[in-house]
Amino acid sequence: MTTNITKVCPESGKKTTITVDIDAYARWRNGELIQRAFPDMSADDRETLMTGLCIDCQKQIFGF
């Protein structure tokens, strides 16, 4: 089962919605490393889930 998580970028205010597996999300929130909880999720989406930063701000901040 999945759910949608919406994050608001702290830099731009842009909203990003990511669809996640509920069980994986619960494991991550309970301390599992995000890479292990979501091995098939892109690094960009994992960063958004953790920090809220949208992809555009990630590119500006991290230079990729």
| Tens digit of each residue's pLDDT (9 = 90 or more) over 17-30 | 999 999 999 999 99
Listed by start position, the domains of the chain span 2-62
Query: What pTM did the predictor assign?
Result: 0.90
Per-residue pLDDT of the chain (64 residues; tens, 9 = 90+): 999 999 999 999 999 999 999 999 999 999 999 999 999 999 999 999 999 999 999 999 998 7
Which residues does residue 3 pair with via DSSP β-bridges, in sequence order?
A: 20
Q: What is the pLDDT of residue 63?
A: 87
Nearest-CA neighbor of 44 among 23, 27, 61? Answer: 61
Q: What is the largest CA-CA distance in the chain?
A: 35
Q: What is the pLDDT of residue 53?
A: 97
